[in-house]
Amino acid sequence: MVSTRIQHQNHVILLDEHFRSLPDLIRFSNQAFYRSQLKIMTANPGAPVERNIFIHRTNGQRHEKGYNEREVAAILRKVKEIVASEAELAKGMCQSIGILSPFRAQVEQLKKAFKATFSAEQMARHRILIGTAHSFQGEERDIMCISWVVDPNSPAGVFRYFQREDVFNVSITRARVAQYLFLSLGLEHIPTQNLLAQYLIDAGIQQKEEQSTNLPSWNDPFLQEVRTFVKAQGVNTIFENYHIAGLEIDLVFVHNGRTYCVDLIGYPGPYEAAIPSNRWKMLSRLNLHPFSLPYSHWLFRRAESEAALRQFIGEKIPQEQMPA
């Protein structure tokens, strides 16, 4: 074992830079399991506070065999929404989806339901993975749905499934962009010292339903001006602040069956920074070539910028031909 070869504690290095998840998705684990030593590299002090953890109360019941049918149905509805909303996107731009439950019986019910509902192509487009925490070791997804299964009548012993710190930590840290928690009970039915109760309290969601958590988007005039221009070119399917593989893209749109990305640079706010070069390479592997648009060009060379953007939409020009 590696640990037997370590001669001194000074030889142990903590990998303390966290790049995968948005801040509120890793906050609880950072405090509870890492003594707040992680440096959250996705945090942006200039950006508005985002909510990325949502709750669905299903009022389901845990079957004696260990599954919860209402939670299965609720997860299916959520995933259907995502699949439908991204049906026009290029395959590489579709958000990946993970479905996790602590209970094997629920995992089997979910697998059966998904097989009956989604085609193999849809499952592949969204890299849908269904399993327990052990299935997600080393895995991550843009969107995670967690089915907790338990209800108010569940025996106290069932909650011990949530008390293994390593398993619980894996369960709640697989999401890059958003986490949906499917619950069939209130906080008052969970033992106070249980990790699930502590997690819900920390997230501040124990009494907040998903439909009441819609926050106003950041008012960025630069983004809105470019969006208006793109829409005027006949583009109808437009996504703002779209997340893919942990990367935030300012504008993504679909036109004539093709997916386009626009990276806005320089206007103060959350869209100010450019996409890092290593992320450009990742997008190139997905056959996606973003259009970089500096605010200075948009402000002082508007006609030239509009012409280049119009050509990009029409011809998908290579990056090196974009305004420098």
Q: Give the model confidence (pLDDT) of 82-123 as tens digits.
A: 999 999 888 888 899 999 999 999 999 999 999 999 999 999
pLDDT surpasses 90 at 306: yes
Mean of pLDDT values over 276-304: 75
The pLDDT value given to residue 240: 87
- Confidence tier at 288 by pLDDT (50, 70, 90): low
> Please, which residues have CB within 8 angstroms of residue 169's CB and are 6 or more apart in sequence?
29, 32, 33
Question: Using CA atoms, how far apart are residues 75 and 179, in angstroms rounded to an integer?
Answer: 12
- Beta pairing class for 17-18 and 39-40: parallel
Give the other-Cβ count within 10 Å of 48's Cβ: 12
Q: Which residues pair with 144 in a beta bridge?
A: 98, 179
150 pLDDT more than 80: yes
Per-residue model confidence (pLDDT) at position 322? 41
CA distance to 2, 12, 33, 125, 168, per residue, from 9 (Å)? 13, 5, 19, 44, 27
Beta pairing, strands 237-244 & 97-100 = unpaired
The C-alpha angle with vertex 182 and arms to 66 and 164, in degrees rounded to 5, equals 65
* Span of 15-29, 77-91, 266-280 with lowest mean pLDDT: 15-29
0.85 surpassed by pTM: no
Alpha-carbon distance 171 to 69, whole Å? 20
Instruction: Report the helix count and the strand count for the chain, using DSSP H and E.
Output: 10, 11
- Tokens for 218, please give them: 């950041």
CATH classification code of 45-212: 3.40.50.300
CB 181 within 8 A of CB 146: yes
pLDDT category at 273 given cuts 50, 70, 90 is: low
For the chain, domain boundaries: 45-212, 221-321
Q: In this predicted model, what pLDDT tens digit does every residue of 165-192 receive, in sequence order?
A: 889 989 988 988 889 999 999 888 999 8
| pLDDT for res 247 | 67
Mean of per-residue pLDDT scores for the chain: 78
Q: What is the CATH number of domain 221-321?
A: 3.40.960.10
Share of the chain above pLDDT 90, in %: 37
* 40 touches 26 (CB < 8 A): yes
Measured at the CA of 217, the angle between CA 71 and CA 181, to 5 degrees, comes to 15
